[in-house]
A and B are shown apart, each in its own frame.
Chain A
Amino acid sequence: MRSEVRLPVLLVVLGVLLGVGVPTAWLLTRPGTSEGPPVAEVVAGSSGPAASPSRGSDAAGPEQAGSGGSLPSVTARPATPQPAETRPDPTRLTVPALGIDAPVDAVGVEPDGTMTIPEDVSRVGWYRFGPAPGAPEGSAVLAGHVDDAEQGLGALSPLSEASVGDQVQVTDAAGGSTTWQVVAREEFSKQSVPLADLFARSGPPRLVLITCGGPFLADIRSYQDNVVVIAEPV
């Protein structure tokens, strides 16, 4: 009698373990949609005016001027037309930990105002109106298609598995290269991507990698989210 009961009980326990335990374990261990601190926090305020530490001197200024009694010199410079300073364009992006190794094209914007992305999903676009990787300040933005119906997976499709600490390398047309380290990854619905901060032209130098992710909306043939990875210079 005892042994007859033991088998069914064993089966029930095993069944619960498999049926509940496995999906739960998968849910808990699968790579999350984000890593590191929230991206919005990392890039917050990059696009705005400089922070306010100097604001304290607002009150002190007039006093100093009053007691000192002299005006500091005003800087003037020749207004003759100057040739533009140029920095070599980035030409290649590699993220060894993710197996990403893709050529980079300089791109601008589409007539609808969105960033141009190379048609070839094995190539990555660099937003040429913003800073270049290695510029002293601002965010250099590189973006690529995650996939295409005919071409298959895109060069940046592994981006959704980027981990904090992954090394990123960008090579430029002059043969120079810059090395970066991933500090955060996050998925945003396309309506809530902090574009102004991601495309900041001032503030600390950053590398911003963007592709698509999240649920696929078949009726508009588009993904709902943007996968955003932020890297900082090593």
Chain B
Amino acid sequence: MTPLRRTLVLGAAGAFALGAFAAPALAAEDTATVSVLHAVPGVPVDVYANGEELIPDFQPGTLTDPLQLPAGSYDLAIYPAGSDPATTQPAASADDVTVPAGANATIAAHLTPDGTPVLTPYVNDTSPVAAGQARVTVRHTAAAPAVDVRANGQVIAPGLTNPGEATLETAPGTVSADVVLAGTDTVAIGPADLTLAEGTSTIVYAWGSQDAGYQLAVQTIEGTHSSPSGVPGGSAGLVEPSVPLPVVGATVLGMVVLGLGARRLTAARD
């Protein structure tokens, strides 16, 4: 391990230590938010980052909580769970994966269309969603040809190919989602009920293989909401602040009395 490599690993280790409780405070600085998804059916794996074990015994169909990693370049690899990385070929690896500061990314371990394990880094859209809207991103990570993704029977992402993705903003709510072979009504996955909460990003992964079966995995990113642009509240002017009548009366009366007194005073002096 070169000295540079060593530094990187130590830095990463420190970030993992912090990640559990300091995530929001560091998010804006020189760190990136990274989640890892295991979408290779049937095989628990150990995930390594820059030669250090990051996630032991990572189960298919699970997703890590977001980690704060120092921005930089990472060599990622997955090995069958419990194997020795010194003597085992990785099941999949991705070298020099650049994680820029402030980015929000998901590293997905999944199958290519022909069934080979692969690691794909996806950049997650965390820009604000308009008030009253929800963002949904669909990603094709299954050993399958092109598909259409449907919500309530309507195609929302046509002709999606592995490892492609599509993003759209829509009204929030619960939709019945399924995945069909592109251009057909042959359902490959689902239907499954998906809750698209207002102001959040919901990322849906279609994953699996013909042999192991196809499934949906869901990742939710919160904190992308916007506030309403204002609060309208009245149209009649009934509660406009005004000086109450008794106060006006007393003031006018005071003026009259003052004038009267002043006249008497000047008259008396003459």
Contact = CB atoms under 8 A, between A and B. Distances in A.
Interface of A: 4-5, 7-23, 26, 47, 49-55, 57-58, 61-66, 71-84, 108-109, 112-115, 117, 121, 127, 129, 143-149, 152-154, 156-157, 160, 190, 193, 195-196, 198-199, 201-202, 210-216, 218, 221-223, 226
Nearest to A216: B237
A231 to B, nearest CB: 17
A104 to B, nearest CB: 15
A221 to B, nearest CB: 5
A76 B235 contact: no
Contacts, number: 288
Given A5-B265, A61-B17, A157-B239, 6 more contacts: A18-B251, A23-B243, A84-B195, A114-B228, A145-B232, A223-B237
Nearest to A65: B13
B54 A74 contact: yes
B52 to A, nearest CB: 7
Contacts of A10: 261
B244 A61 contact: no
Interface residues of B, number: 90
Q: Is the interface of B mostly helix, strand, loop or mixed?
A: mixed
A114 B25 contact: no
A82 B54 CA distance: 26
B172 interface: yes
14 contacts: A15-B257, A15-B260, A49-B25, A50-B25, A66-B14, A79-B63, A81-B194, A82-B218, A121-B234, A145-B233, A195-B230, A199-B227, A211-B233, A223-B233
A58 B26 contact: yes
Given A62-B10, A75-B65, A218-B237, A57 B264 contact: no
B230 A8 contact: no
Interface stretch (B91-99, B119-127, B197-205): B197-205
A129 B132 contact: yes
B132 A58 contact: no
Contacts of A21: 254
